[in-house]
Every structure is written in C-alpha cells, then in structure tokens.
Amino acid sequence: MATQAHSLSYAGCNFLRQRLVLSTLSGRPVKIRKIRARDDNPGLRDFEASFIRLLDKITNGSRIEINQTGTTLYYQPGLLYGGSVEHDCSVLRSIGYYLESLLCLAPFMKHPLRIVLRGVTNDQTDPSVDVLKATALPLLKQFGIDGESFELKIVRRGMPPGGGGEVFFSCPVRKVLKPIQLTDPGKIKRIRGMAYSVRVSPQMANRIVDSARSILNKFIPDIYIYTDHMKGVNSGKSPGFGLSLVAETTNGTFLSAELASNPPGQGTAVLPEDLGRNCARLLLEEIYRGGCVDSTNQSLALLLMTLGQQDVSKVLLGPLSPYTIEFLRHLKSFFQIMFKIETRPCGEELKGGDKVLMTCVGIGFSNLSKTLK
C-alpha cells in the first residue's frame, strides 16, 4: 500500500509529530529535510528521536532512515500494531507530547494498545496528563471510542528536570468512527480541578486551591479542586507543584487550563497563590474563546472528523490556534480533504470570542489493521 503512495517532502523541524502521525495513518511515506540545519547543534533533538522510537514500537514494518547529522529523516510507515508496549520518554518534553499523538493513532491499531510511558507528567510547554485525561478522553468517546479498556492512569508523577513519572494508557480499537455534530457548547455548569504537589510541602496544594477559588467563586458556586500530594517513590525525582482546571458545560464540552511551577534553578520561584490566580484567569480566557472543543484538542477533533465515515461532521470551535491552522494544511496534503470554514461572530446570546464552524465529509477511513473476528 505504502509503496504506490507518492511520498511527501517537507523542510524544517516544525510540526514533526503532525507529519509522522498523518503519514502513518495515510500510509504515505514522508521525507523531512533541513531539520535545524543551520543550528549550532544541528539535527533531531533527543525528544524527537524518542518519539520516532515510540512510533517504531507501535508499528510493524516501518522503515526509518536518518542521515549522519540527523538533519534529514525518511519515514515509510508500516501497519499500526499496538499490543503491550513500554516506553521511556525524553525528560526534555512531557509525556503529553507523546500521548497527544498516541490518542490520534490508538483507535486504529491491530491489537488494543496498552502502553506504559515514563518521564515527565507535568511541565510548562505540553498539555499535562491530567488535562488530556479530562478533555481528550471525553472527546474520543463522542466518536464512539469507548469501553472498559479505555483508561488513562497516572501511576507516578514526575516534574522536570528529573522526571520519574509513570502513566498507563489503554485504548480499544475501532473499525470505523462515528460522525459528530457538535455545534452547541452549552453553558458552563461546573468547574473541577487538580492541584498537585510533589517533593514540596503538602500545604502548597491547599494554597493554590484557595487562590484559584478566590477568582472562580465570583462566577459559579459548583467548584471542586482536588489536591494530590504524592509521596516517596510516586513523587518522581524533582520538586514542583501545579494546577489543572477543567470547566464542564451542560452539553458535555470540556474546556481546560493549566499551569506548573518553574523547575528548580530555572527562572524565579513562583508563589502558589500567584500560580492559582493565573491559572484561574487562563481558564476564564479559554471559556471566553469557547467552542465545543478546547484549544489543546482542536487538531485531534479535526483529525477524527476527517477519518470518520462518509458522512457530514460539524464542530464549533473557538479561534483556531496556529498549530491547528497548519494541521488543516497537512490534512489537505495527506488526505486531500478540505474543511468548510464559516465564521460565527459572537452574538449577544453567545457572549465570548468569535467562533468558527468547521464542516467536512469524512473520507470513510476503515481500520485495515484490525483483525476480523
């Protein structure tokens, strides 16, 4: 299948995950040149090499060629195999970096995926495991990916720079995906959160909760923020604390925001009070942007709509992030699919930022790897 498909060529290190994930799903080989070619330290970084190793573990028959300096990568995808896998992620990026791509690929494996990822669970750049658990899993359920074996569990927490966290993710396989119609986000009905602290005083988490509530209580009474203080071996190798907040609407939409403390020795120390307040403000900003899918999961929703049955899917999103805009361009080159994009200016009844209604007809992607029972 992959040999007849014509290969795509890109330059630069940006959007590496997008290209490799779409290449794996479409079966089209991809060649990426000039990866940080002019940098003092050229080529692929450790976390990108770790990501490629992970793809190699969950596929069967992938061919990966990297040149001497690491500035050129050729990837010919194999079949998604799945099964039980363990992977040590690079501590330069969090587990969320790897998990985001696994969420795109997991439903299309030959065998249900059961994977243990080790590394950093919460950091300042990637979506944390807490947020993905609260927002991405309900989104996948909308597409009909559900079952007893569908879970994401934090076994241990790990903060940068040491890491030491551990996460277990399992996902059932599906032959086809359901089309979706998510056009009415509904009103916010409750806010849930998780304040965590590792290798610092457990009082830190309580201070974060108090300061976040001081802002959110003005808007809605139904707020519950759990505190999670892990001890001993479960607390990883580095100290830190943080907060993730999720707002749930009457129609089952989840909007999220999160913040983590600065790693020791990098930047100024953050007060837990400031962190709580800033995170609450970020959540309010995300609610203002609105939509039926929050900004971290926009690309996941659009990918699953593309791969759905040959039927119309619609989703109402907040303003598109630059990452999502680039993702739409990639969807066009890998799957030849175009979305109809209609802007919805915020009327009085919506209250919030301008929305975008995305409509597409699925390509009728069928999971060829799945064994016939």
Instruction: Look up residue 342 and give its amino acid.
Output: E
Residue 6: per-residue pLDDT: 82
**Distance between CA atoms of residues 173 and 41, nearest Å:** 40
CATH assignment of 188-289, among 3.20.20.30, 3.30.2350.10, 3.30.360.20, 3.30.300.30: 3.30.360.20
Tell me which fold the domain 1-79 belongs to: Translation Initiation Factor IF3 (3.30.110)
Q: Check residue 3 and give its pLDDT.
A: 44
List the chain domain ranges: 1-79, 188-289
Please give the pLDDT value at position 326: 97
**Gyration radius from the chain CA atoms:** 21
Q: What is the pLDDT of residues 349-361, one digit of tens each?
A: 656 888 999 999 9
Give the β-pairing of 30-33 and 8-11: parallel
Tell how strand 151-156 and strand 111-119 pair up: unpaired
Domains 1-79 and 188-289 share a fold: no
Residues in the chain, how many? Answer: 373
Q: Mean pLDDT for each consecutive 10-residue tract of the chain (373 residues)? A: 70 96 96 95 96 97 96 96 97 97 96 97 96 97 93 96 96 94 94 97 97 96 96 94 97 96 92 98 95 96 96 95 97 96 77 90 86 57
3-state secondary structure the chain: CCCCCCCEEEECCCCHHHHHHHHHHHCCCEEEECCCCCCCCCCCCHHHHHHHHHHHHHEECCEEEECCCCCCEEEECCEECEEEEEEECCCCCEHHHHHHHHHHHHHHCCEEEEEEEEEECCCCCCCCHHHHHHHHHHHHHHCCCCCCCCEEEEEECCECCCECEEEEEEECCCCCCCCCEECCCCCEEEEEEEEEEECCCCHHHHHHHHHHHHHHCCCCCCEEEEEEEECHHHHCCCCEEEEEEEEEECCCCEEEEEEECCCCCCCCCCCHHHHHHHHHHHHHHHHHHCECCCCCCHHHHHHHHHCCCCCEEEEEECCCCHHHHHHHHHHHHHHCCCCEEEEECCCCCCCCCCEEEEEEECCCCCCCCCCCC
pLDDT of residue 1: 39
* pLDDT for the residue numbered 2: 41
Question: What pLDDT digit, counting tens, does each position of 55-78 carry?
Answer: 999 999 999 999 999 999 999 999
